[in-house]
Amino acid sequence: MLARCTAAMAIAAVCAAAPAHADAVADFYKGKQINLIVGYGPGGGYDIYARLLARHFGRFVPGAPNVIVQNMPGAGSLRAVNYLYNVAPKDGSAIAMFSRNMPLIGLLGGNSNVQFNPRKLTWLGSTSSFVNDAYILIVRKDAPVKSIDEACRADLPPLVLGGTAEGATGNDVPIILRDAIGLHVKQVVGYPDSTAIFLAIERGEVQGIADFSWSSLKVVRPHWLSEKRITMLMQGALSNEQELGDLPNALDFVKNASDRKVLELHFTQKTAARPIISPPGVPGERVAALISAFKALGQDREFLADAERSKQEIALVSSEEVEKVVRLIVSTPADIADRYAKAFAPEAK
């Protein structure tokens, strides 16, 4: 009888603990807001996806907090990650969406501006994956080169592409393509975000942009496609986007196994195209609530209907899958990691 009573009391204690945990999380978030920090300015692809997320995410967090988007452009979203890691509250009231290349930059080293350790960040998931979100190299219709073969010819003028700050994805892609396939390119850097680069393309300051999201392009500049103002030269991913038909992949132009491995390392990060994180040190029960809320979005009809109305392609990647990507990057062979890092060294540029 004593044993049965003890067991019953233990079961009751366990059953009471879960609601108590949930109540504690709800008590914290009730009447509060979550700041969703976006590493780019308003109007671009990351901002559009962040605002879609913000409209629905709070419904699935205990206590139903409001979610407010806070744009923090700078250094290709490095500023936002550094802020979240070092300055933002560590209580679950701040999360961030940033460039997919930040884990790679942080793990491989070589950038003195990196002030975070990707291994210590909490990966909540990603709103997109390369499977549904191809990235493309686009140029103005009047650009002097019309194909990648021409863009790799040293006897023709270099392809002039717009870029943001040091370490930004749009800057990294031309550099790695120059190293791996011989792309003849000149970059004009310093634009705050993709929206500014689009305006520069329209004004003729630059000829194009590298590695921009296909799904975002259809939303933010649909008239470029309908009016045939641009030429898509190439896509870059581990697998081709079916909607882009026979548009060539960067991997089609590699000359050897080393080139392929370098490009594959670069494209691996696209599995988590728009990652979302919370800083280190957030209480475990709140982290679990945020991860659970993110997963719930994938089954929510209201969220998916909103995405469809906004013409935003959603392919949610779980926190576990993003962690796998980070571990894969960490396990990169030393020779490939060294070659990748050397491509971005000052003397290489």
Q: Which domains does the chain have, with CATH numbers?
A: 24-130+270-340 (3.40.190.150), 135-269 (3.40.190.10)
Non-local (6+) Cβ contacts of 49 within 8 A are 97, 127, 128, 216, 274, 312
The distance of Cα 248 from the centroid of its chain, to the nearest Å, equals 23
pLDDT-derived band at 131 (thresholds 50, 70, 90) equals low
- Characterize the bridge pairing of strands 122-126 and 317-318: antiparallel
Which of 38-52, 73-87, 120-134 has the weakest average pLDDT? 120-134
Looking at residue 22, its pLDDT comes to 61
Phi, psi for residue 27 in degrees, rounded to 5: -60, -40
Q: Give the Å distances, CA to CA, from 341 to 202, 269, 285, 346.
A: 33, 15, 38, 10
Residue 158 contacts residue 130 (beta carbons within 8 Å): no
Asked if residue 257 has pLDDT above 70, the reply is yes
Find where tokens 């205990």 sit.
62
pLDDT-derived band at 1 (thresholds 50, 70, 90) equals very low
Three-state secondary-structure class, residue 274 = coil
pLDDT in tens, 72-97: 998 888 999 999 999 999 999 999 99
pLDDT in tens, 308-331: 998 888 888 899 988 888 888 878
SS3 content of the chain, % helix, strand, coil (to 5): 50, 15, 35
Looking at residue 2, its pLDDT comes to 40
Question: Which amino acid, one-letter code, is at 208?
Answer: G
pLDDT-derived band at 112 (thresholds 50, 70, 90) equals confident
Looking at residue 47, its pLDDT comes to 93
Looking at residue 93, its pLDDT comes to 98
Which of 88-92, 108-112, 179-183, 241-245 has the weakest average pLDDT? 108-112
Looking at residue 317, its pLDDT comes to 87
- H helix or E strand, kind and range, residue 187: strand 185-188
Which of 58-62, 165-169, 307-311, 315-319 has the weakest average pLDDT? 165-169
Q: Give the Å distances, CA to CA, from 159 to 127, 142, 150, 174, 200.
A: 31, 12, 10, 10, 14
Q: Burial, 142: exposed, middle or buried (Cβ in 10 Å; 0-12, 13-18, 19+)?
A: exposed
Looking at residue 36, its pLDDT comes to 98
- Residue 99 DSSP one-character state: -
Mutual orientation of helices 257-268 and 334-343 as an angle, nearest 10°? 80
Average pLDDT estimate for 196-212: 93
Average pLDDT estimate for 119-131: 83
Please indicate whether residue 268 or residue 178 has the higher confidence score (pLDDT): 178
Which of 146-160, 223-237, 335-349 has the weakest average pLDDT? 335-349
Integer Cα distance of 281 and 303 in angstroms: 29
Average pLDDT estimate for 281-305: 96
**pTM of the entire structure?**
0.69
Torsion angle (degrees, nearest 10) of CA 167, 168, 170, 176: 30
Torsion angle (degrees, nearest 10) of CA 208, 210, 215, 219: -30
Asked if residue 13 has pLDDT above 50, the reply is no
Looking at residue 330, its pLDDT comes to 78
Average pLDDT estimate for 294-298: 94
In 3D space, the residue among 198, 222, 201, 209 whose CA is nearest the CA of residue 168 turns out to be 209
Of the ranges 96-105, 160-169, 288-297, 324-333, the best mean pLDDT one: 288-297
Integer Cα distance of 71 and 98 in angstroms: 10
Mean pLDDT score across all residues of the chain: 86
pLDDT in tens, 207-254: 999 878 787 888 889 999 999 999 999 998 888 888 899 999 999 999
Integer Cα distance of 301 and 283 in angstroms: 30
Asked if residue 4 has pLDDT above 60, the reply is no
